[in-house]
Chain A
Amino acid sequence: MSANFFYTIEVIANGLMTGVMYSLVALGFVLIFKASGVFNYAQGVMALFAAMTLVGIQTGQVPFAHLINVIFGTHLDKFGWEVPTFIAILIALAVMIGFAFLVERYILKHLVNQDPIILFMATIGLAYFMEGFGDLMWGSEIKKLDVGLPQGGNVWLENATAGWAEGFYGFYIDNLDMWATAIAIVLVAGLIVFSNYTKTGRALRAVADDNQAALSVGISLRKIWVIVWSLAGLVALVAGIMWGAKSGVQFSLSLIALKALPVLMLGGFTSIPGAIVGGMIIGVGEKLFEFTVGPYIGGATENWFAYVLALIFLVFRPQGLFGEKIIERV
């Protein structure tokens, strides 16, 4: 077994975990799409906003400080207190739930019977809005996110596996990635339990299946939508924390949403397990491709590989791995 073999394994392991991170974002899409047929382009920005809010609360930032300073000539920056992580997370979650209410009331309610493409474009508008709004509220500089999770390569693992082959210095796997995987598993398990075993979860599945029928048995569509968007907000918060801890809270976080799209194309837009499997396939595929083929063609293939892979896949199976087969009737 050569060093190259172990490095390949390392690439695959890292790919799987990156995939899990993608899945976290993709999950939010799936939840909303399942229940309302809306493809929420704003999911990535929601993750960014959730992370920004968390950091802002934790560090005691004054919301809209820059704006207020500019209008009134003041010099506000921080309140001067720091909020413990756990409480900050709860407050951030409450903010996301409030956000869900507002979205339902001012956007979804008015666009009920429109084409899905119109709804999609509305979520693009929402994404832009949230982006500007978040920047105005908390400032657009990069922030460090610290929720107490250990970072950096896992030293124990690295030392334990060093020397397994000539020239191999041990598996380098980030602690954060391992925590993210564990948290994602818990989250998904929780979502699956919620969906299958609770009354609200059942209602969610009913709405996802057939809006009209769900209405006719007394399920409040609007209430369900608020719940679903809140859940998506929770998922966005978790995703935002994981990604933010890894690379800082900044604008590029919202671009992760774009990466989630190929994940959804592979896994199907309506399947929770599909989001996970799709995420892992994309994660591993990307990293392997860059590792093996990348050096010959200039590198940075991760910018486009996921999309091309999903595109090729879709041509042969338009509904993705787990999606429902599209039957067209006349």
Chain B
Amino acid sequence: MFYRESGDFKTTYAKDTQTFPIKLDRVGYYIILAVAFIAIPLLLITDTGGGANYWTNAIFLPFLIWAIAAIGLNILVGYCGQLSLGSGGFMAVGAYASYKLMTSFPDLNILFVVILSGAITAGVGILFGLPSLRIKGFYLAVATLAAQFFLVWLFNKVPWFYNYSASGQISAPTRSFFGFEVTGATASAEAKYLFCLVLLFCVAWVARNLTRGRIGRSWMAIRDMDIAAEIIGVAPLKTKLSAFGVSSFFIGIAGSLFFTVYLGAVEVGEAFGIQKSFLLLFMIIIGGLGSIFGSIIGAAFMVLMPVLLKIILVDQLNWATDIAAHFQFVIVGALIIIFLILEPHGLAQLWRLLKEKLRLWPFPH
């Protein structure tokens, strides 16, 4: 009744293919943007207790950064159908590229550092994507494991990557963007938050554009029926490599932000191990494969759930933290299975179905 579509006719192709064709959606989108860009930073600035930092570090930053990574992985897995278990390793490439750039070129603007790190990761991703022409399905997934383990080993063993430091750890020096510090210990919560938010917005915008045009269709064609796709003119290697490239670009950006803005210091095995690759995969499964909105929702879900569990189980019920951790595994595992059985297209599809119901409400059909 209030979610109306009828009477809303599009008279140009441009209007027909816009991202939010329904007016109510558009309004909702602007509201969310206002909250994200204005309301939350104001809250962060005015909060002088430890609260701002806690919220930023526990929820906002991981959410924004994982959302970027999830969009990246979704392009490769959800849109192009190439299963990859190497995302952790690629995030590591982004992080270490940033470290080397920041330490070798101290005057380089942090934004360029992040973008360049993404570009370097794209190159590595394309390299590891080369076998995808010959290898498909699970075999490809296992091949990406080669990337995961090799890269983590590489950053652990080759001292050049961590500037020959004794501990093997890398830490991010302070850098500013337009006068506000965004990395390092003195950076403010709102600066870090806005920096990541702007990047998420840009990544989502680019991803939306790529997936609604020719390239997006070529990815989906390869995913759905790669032989037929080739026969109608889609060059398979070029298309798959472009998916690997774009996906790794975004994942590299996420890895760079993860290190520079969020954690500040990382040890590669712990920060970028295989567990992170699976975490990212779960985000896009639960959120919805082949959906940008789904990637963002999935990231929000997987970031919020442990926090919620901790609040309920540890703070309220006084359970030990390790039991809470075990419960998390149980719940995540069960949710994955339930989602795959009930709604393989994830939360994004559930949202779509909900909107369909809303269109008709209060009529049943």
Which residues of A are interface residues toward B (Cβ below 8 A)?
Answer: 39, 66-67, 70, 107, 110-111, 114, 116-118, 120-122, 124-133, 135-136, 140, 258, 261-262, 264-265, 269, 297-301, 303-304, 307-308, 310-311, 314-315, 318, 328, 330
Q: Is B177 an interface residue (CB 8 A)?
A: no
Say whether B340 contacts A121, CB under 8 Å. Answer: yes
**In the assembled complex, which residues on chain B have CB atoms less than 8 Å from the CB atom of A135?**
322, 326, 329
A265 to B146, CA, bound (A): 12
Q: Which of B65-73, B107-115, B137-145 contacts A (4 or more CB under 8 A)?
A: B137-145
Q: Is B228 an interface residue (CB 8 A)?
A: yes
- Given A70-B323, A121-B340, A298-B157: A129 and B138 within 8 A (CB)? no
Give the nearest-CB partner of A265 in chain B.
Answer: B142
Say whether B285 contacts A121, CB under 8 Å. Answer: yes
Give the nearest-CB partner of B329 in chain A.
Answer: A132
Say whether B150 contacts A308, CB under 8 Å. Answer: yes
Main DSSP-derived SS at the A contact region: helix
**Top 4 A-B pairs ranked by shortest CB distance?**
A129-B333, A132-B329, A125-B336, A128-B333
In B282-340, the 8 Å CB interface with A consists of: 282, 285, 318-320, 322-323, 325-337, 340
**In the assembled complex, which residues on chain A have CB atoms less than 8 Å from the CB atom of B318?**
70
Say whether B337 contacts A129, CB under 8 Å. Answer: yes
18 pairs of residues in contact across A and B, judged by CB atoms under 8 Å:
A114-B340, A117-B137, A120-B141, A121-B340, A124-B281, A125-B282, A125-B333, A125-B334, A125-B337, A129-B332, A133-B326, A133-B330, A135-B326, A140-B326, A262-B142, A301-B153, A304-B153, A314-B134
What distance in Å separates the Cβ of B294 from its nearest Cβ neighbour in chain A?
14
**In the assembled complex, which residues on chain A have CB atoms less than 8 Å from the CB atom of B158?**
298
Say whether B146 contacts A111, CB under 8 Å. Answer: no
- Given A303-B152, A330-B227: A126 and B333 within 8 A (CB)? yes
Say whether A129 contacts B334, CB under 8 Å. Answer: yes
A240 to B247, CA, bound (A): 37
**In the assembled complex, which residues on chain B have CB atoms less than 8 Å from the CB atom of A140?**
322, 326
Q: Is B3 an interface residue (CB 8 A)?
A: no
Main DSSP-derived SS at the B contact region: helix
Q: Is B41 an interface residue (CB 8 A)?
A: no
- Given A116-B138, A300-B153, A314-B135: A308 and B330 within 8 A (CB)? no
Say whether B149 contacts A303, CB under 8 Å. Answer: yes
A117 to B224, CA, bound (A): 13
**In the assembled complex, which residues on chain B have CB atoms less than 8 Å from the CB atom of A298?**
157-158
A66 to B344, CA, bound (A): 35
**In the assembled complex, which residues on chain B have CB atoms less than 8 Å from the CB atom of A117?**
81, 83, 137-138
Say whether B153 contacts A128, CB under 8 Å. Answer: no
- Interface size for B (C-beta < 8 A) is 50
Most A CB atoms within 10 A — which of B141, B227, B340?
B340
What distance in Å separates the Cβ of B44 from its nearest Cβ neighbour in chain A?
34
Known: A66-B320, A140-B326. 12 other contacts (CB 8 A): A107-B337, A117-B83, A118-B344, A120-B138, A125-B337, A127-B333, A128-B336, A297-B157, A307-B142, A307-B149, A314-B143, A318-B134
What distance in Å separates the Cβ of A90 from its nearest Cβ neighbour in chain B?
27
Give the nearest-CB partner of A125 in chain B.
Answer: B336
What distance in Å separates the Cβ of B230 from its nearest Cβ neighbour in chain A?
10
Say whether B329 contacts A128, CB under 8 Å. Answer: yes
Which residues of B are interface residues toward A (Cβ below 8 A)?
Answer: 81, 83, 131, 134-139, 141-143, 145-146, 149-150, 152-153, 156-158, 227-228, 231, 274, 278, 281-282, 285, 318-320, 322-323, 325-337, 340-341, 344
**In the assembled complex, which residues on chain B have CB atoms less than 8 Å from the CB atom of A315?**
131, 134-135
Say whether B344 contacts A114, CB under 8 Å. Answer: yes
What distance in Å separates the Cβ of B73 from its nearest Cβ neighbour in chain A?
13
What distance in Å separates the Cβ of A194 from its nearest Cβ neighbour in chain B?
26
Say whether B320 contacts A70, CB under 8 Å. Answer: yes
A89 to B278, CA, bound (A): 32
**In the assembled complex, which residues on chain B have CB atoms less than 8 Å from the CB atom of A39?**
138
A315 to B328, CA, bound (A): 38
Say whether B329 contacts A131, CB under 8 Å. Answer: yes
Give the nearest-CB partner of B230 in chain A.
Answer: A330
What distance in Å separates the Cβ of A252 from its nearest Cβ neighbour in chain B?
12
Say whether A314 contacts B145, CB under 8 Å. Answer: no
Most A CB atoms within 10 A — which of B142, B227, B325?
B142
- Given A128-B336, A304-B150, A310-B142: A70 and B319 within 8 A (CB)? yes
A39 to B141, CA, bound (A): 12
Point out the residue from B135, B146, B231, B322 that lies within 8 Å of A330, measured CB to CB.
Answer: B231
A258 to B273, CA, bound (A): 13
**In the assembled complex, which residues on chain A have CB atoms less than 8 Å from the CB atom of B336?**
121-122, 124-125, 128-129
Say whether A111 contacts B138, CB under 8 Å. Answer: no
Give the nearest-CB partner of A131 in chain B.
Answer: B329
**In the assembled complex, which residues on chain B have CB atoms less than 8 Å from the CB atom of A269?**
138
What distance in Å separates the Cβ of A40 from its nearest Cβ neighbour in chain B?
11
Say whether B149 contacts A132, CB under 8 Å. Answer: no
A32 to B348, CA, bound (A): 32
Most A CB atoms within 10 A — which of B231, B282, B330, B333?
B333
Say whether B328 contacts A132, CB under 8 Å. Answer: yes
What distance in Å separates the Cβ of A305 from its nearest Cβ neighbour in chain B?
9
A111 to B341, CA, bound (A): 6
**In the assembled complex, which residues on chain B have CB atoms less than 8 Å from the CB atom of A124?**
278, 281, 336
